[in-house]
Structure 1
């Protein structure tokens, strides 16, 4: 059975089956796309908010005792809950971060380097500085930035203690 399509540019007759088949193909493509990306999940890079879901990460790091002299890059990355590539990138971007390297080229982070990483993490992820802004802040006065960071951490410890005390009452 042929049906004349008045709205097609050529005015050629189409069958009903062809138009129904084309509509079914479009529906199938839409459902496949819906299955490929489930609702609520975005593709691509995660936002900083999603990456720093744990605001007390620095507090947790302060509780960890650094008993070893050197830490590998994978250990440091798991401490900060980031990828090793991000640690390497921060090493290239920030002059204060200078981990020791062995003959093989593996990075060995000292306690001082981990403290610098805490400061960089605080500026970038918690205070939301850009890379350039954090570099400038550290270049202007590294000691002032470190002192401010330590004061914030001390105040957060006091706040945590007070909230625990309040909960016990």
Structure 2
């Protein structure tokens, strides 16, 4: 099912536009919003829903899981939950690796400083 590309300059998209992009009824989007906590459209004073690009990406994921992969609502929720936990694990791993690299860089800097001090002392002795 081809998607219609959203207007890149826009920040918020009304429910009708998003429904058209995804080729679903607005009621489907409202239902998915109730079922999936990752969908959080902005509502104006009148209660009209406006979706961000992130919401649209999440809706595309939900649509893919339900329509193409044939998952149930519960199956899609489980998939999304595991995906988010996996992402968190990856972020923790990346942060740990970055901290290790930072420590190595600090050691290299300290070693370079020692070498500079030694070179400076040797030049003074000459």
TM-score where L is the length of structure 1: 0.48
RMSD: 1.9
Q: Residues 115, 143 of structure 1: CA spacing in aligned structure 2 closer, same or farther, 3 A cutoff?
A: farther
1:75 counterpart = 2:17: yes
Distance across 1 between alignment mates of 2:71 and 2:63: 10
Q: Of residues 45, 50, 54 in structure 2, which corresponds to 1:108?
A: 50
Residue by residue over 1:95-138, the C-alpha shift from the partner in whole angstroms, topping out at 9 and shown as x without a partner, is 10111111111101011111111111111111111101000111
1:135 counterpart = 2:44: no
Distance across 1 between alignment mates of 2:15 and 2:27: 9
**Alpha-carbon shift at residue 65 of structure 1 (Å):** 4.5
Residue by residue over 1:58-78, the C-alpha shift from the partner in whole angstroms, topping out at 9 and shown as x without a partner, is xx44x5553211100000000
- Structure 1 or 2, whichever has the larger Rg, is 1
**Alpha-carbon shift at residue 140 of structure 1 (Å):** 1.8
Unaligned runs of 5+ in 2: 88-126
Asked if structure 1 preserves the Cα contact closer than 8 Å seen for 2:6 and 2:21, the reply is no
TM-score where L is the length of structure 2: 0.63
Unaligned runs of 5+ in 1: 1-53, 146-169
The aligned length equals 87
**Alpha-carbon shift at residue 144 of structure 1 (Å):** 5.3
Distance across 2 between alignment mates of 1:97 and 1:135: 12
Q: Of residues 28, 31, 55 in structure 2, which corresponds to 1:89?
A: 31
The structure with more helix, counted as a fraction of residues:
2
